[in-house]
Structure 1
Amino acid sequence: MALIHPTAVVDPKAQIDSSVAIGAYTVVGPHVRIAAGTTVGPHCVIEGHTTIGRDNRIFQFASLGAVPQDKKYAGEPCELVIGDRNTIREFSTYNIGSPGGGGVTRVGNDNWLMAYVHLAHDCIVGNNTIFANNSQLAGHVEVGDWVILGGFTVVHQFVRIGAHGMTAMCSLLFADQPPFVMSQGQPAQARSMNFEGLRRRGFDPGRIAAVKAMHKALYRDQLTLEQAKARIAELAAQAPAAAPDVALMLSFLGGVDPKRGIVR
């Protein structure tokens, strides 16, 4: 309790680890759970059925666990679940899920989420992502591991962004972005693959060559999506070390909605 500022309003039903620090004038609701080592800055509001893991740093003026901005929502006990070691910067707004989308908005571990980021209902964010200032996700968006969103990126509802992808500043995504792809524009178009990011994460030249081959099949050889998938599947035998990367790409492409398609 010594780590909770006397002006903070913490509901006695909230489950707060004794090591959690809570700043001045922050409000914490009755269904909130916060694990060890997390710090919450001043003037935050954490409400709803919100679970926050260990060693997160939540900066001032964040709003976590508010009801979704969805007219169909009728007070159901949906959730916001945040993992461990995340940095959540100022004026972020993360909503709980909705009954029509599984009921949970989820953030993984080790994410760096900058100021004014919005996560709408039922968004799923993986691990080790970076969202620059004012990145905005509409409802039901899925973001894979190691994704980097440039500042002011806006993502349409139900769009998916595959692992290791990247967007340039002010990108507007209306279609799924496959793994490894870098996109830019309004609407966003695929520009290249995130080769520098892969090198920084320890991808060897053979795996990077396989990613280049996937890019060629998807974007350079004038193939249909089904033809590109068949070409990409052959890479697993040609470059066994890249088999997990091929499987990641094929799994993602298998879930593409034909009406939405992929960024081109």
Structure 2
Amino acid sequence: MIHQTAIISPDAVIGKNVTIEAYAIIKDHVTIGDNVWIGPHAVIDSFVTLGDGCRIFQFAAIGAVPQDLKFGGEESCVKIGNNVTIREFATIHRGTQLGGGITQVGDQCLVMAYAHIAHDCHVGKQVVLANNATLAGHITIGDYAIIGGLVAIHQFVKIGDYAFIGGTSAVSKDVPPYVIAAGDRAVLHGLNRVGLKRHGFSEQALSALKKTYRILFRYGLTTTEAISRIRAEVELCPEVENFISFIQSSTRGVIR
């Protein structure tokens, strides 16, 4: 059902069983999947793709040009996965040429009210951004991460899979997978054991991650020394390998 007051570009591609409520605006070069609901006064700007089953609540704005002084009007886009919920007044901006031109949100994410995803961010699947969470440009968020309310994350920061960032935190360095971080500036508060158990992590994996965490952050070793010790002393399950790979690939440095 499309309300008679909705404004929809003839260039937009609308899937099956889509509801577009009163006064919503759908601009040029937009593709909307099947079974999507777009609430009243929502704005889907140009060069946006919405996957199947998305729910876009009232006054959300997706696809506006980036808040970046280097942006020169180049073509760029926003890609939203399947079954994503974007709540009231949330904003998601298009990418820039410098960042690859794409801002992306993975499947089954929840973007709560007033959250902001800036240009060139890449958000994994089943991520939760709580109210007023703010991502600056070029941020990468791993799968299943939870970003608490009023969190601010610096440009180019990477957040690992299954990480939990406590509310009102300011994050200026990379946050490894599987951990809890909180504070201004954010520091580590141990493994996200509750979250990992909820996601079905085995006791074997939890034990290996606990040993890995201690060696990296509690023994006073350099990163090279810690990784060598982990490889010698810890059972190298995929979760530990992911942890090590994240640490080694960090360019901003990792919080401690």
Q: Structure 2 length normalisation: TM-score?
A: 0.97
Sequence identity (%): 42
Shift of 1:230: 2.1
CA separation in 2, counterparts of 1:118 and 1:228?
36
Q: Name the counterpart of 1:228.
A: 226
CA separation in 2, counterparts of 1:22 and 1:225?
52
Deviations 1:13-65 (A, max 9, x none): 10011311111101101110000011100001111210010001111000000
RMSD of the alignment, in Å? 1.1
Q: Name the counterpart of 2:11.
A: 13
- Corresponding pairs, count: 256
CA separation in 2, counterparts of 1:54 and 1:247?
33
DSSP 3-state at the match of 2:98: helix
Shift of 1:78: 0.4
Q: Which structure 1 segments of 5+ residues have no match?
A: none
Pick the aligned partner of 1:261 from 238, 253, 256.
253
Are 1:239 and 2:253 matched, yes or no?
no
Deviates more, 1:101-110 or 1:245-254: 245-254
CA separation in 2, counterparts of 1:38 and 1:231?
50
CA separation in 2, counterparts of 1:247 and 1:234?
13
Shift of 1:198: 0.6
Shift of 1:130: 1.1
Q: Name the counterpart of 2:150.
A: 152
Shift of 1:229: 2.1
1:81-230 superposed matches below 5 A: 81-230=79-228
Shift of 1:231: 2.6
Contact 1:233 1:250 in 2 (8 A): no
DSSP 3-state at the match of 1:105: strand
Shift of 1:234: 3.6
Q: Name the counterpart of 1:57.
A: 55
Deviations 1:114-154 (A, max 9, x none): 11110000000001111110100000000001101111010
Q: Name the counterpart of 2:22.
A: 24
Q: Which structure 2 segments of 5+ residues have no match?
A: none
Pick the aligned partner of 1:33 from 16, 27, 31.
31
DSSP 3-state at the match of 2:79: strand
Deviations 1:200-240 (A, max 9, x none): 111111110011011101211111122222233346xx535
DSSP 3-state at the match of 1:121: coil
